[in-house]
């Protein structure tokens, strides 16, 4: 979980997620209205990945979940 208090980008170290997982599910929680924007399941990048708060959001929570293929 990564909290974005304002519009910004964050680089996340995915080493901990990669243990036993080959893919990552990316979702966003809009903290103003409680809605979840489900993203895609993608191949797990090696090392780090950069994520940006969705356009028009004041703040939000990035949810990353490891997925086994």
| 3-state SS, residue 15 | helix
> 45: which DSSP letter?
P
What is the pLDDT at residue 17?
83
Which pLDDT tens digit goes with each residue over 1-46? 999 999 999 999 988 887 777 888 999 999 999 999 988 888 877 7
Helices (H) and strands (E) in the chain, counts: 1, 6
Asked if the model's pLDDT at residue 54 lies above 80, the reply is yes
Q: Confirm if 51 and 26 have CB atoms less than 8 A apart.
A: yes
Q: Which of 24, 44, 36 is nearest to 61 (CA)?
A: 36
Of residues 69 and 56, more confidently modeled: 56
Q: Which of 64, 68, 66 is nearest to 29 (CA)?
A: 64
């Amino acid at each position: 979980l990564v909290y974005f208090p304002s519009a910004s980008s964050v680089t996340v170290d995915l080493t901990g997620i990669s243990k036993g997982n080959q893919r990552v599910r990316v979702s966003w929680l809009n903290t103003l209205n409680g809605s979840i924007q489900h993203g895609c399941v993608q191949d797990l990048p090696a090392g780090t990945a950069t994520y940006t708060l969705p356009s028009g959001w004041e703040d939000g929570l990035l949810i990353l979940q490891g997925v086994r293929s």
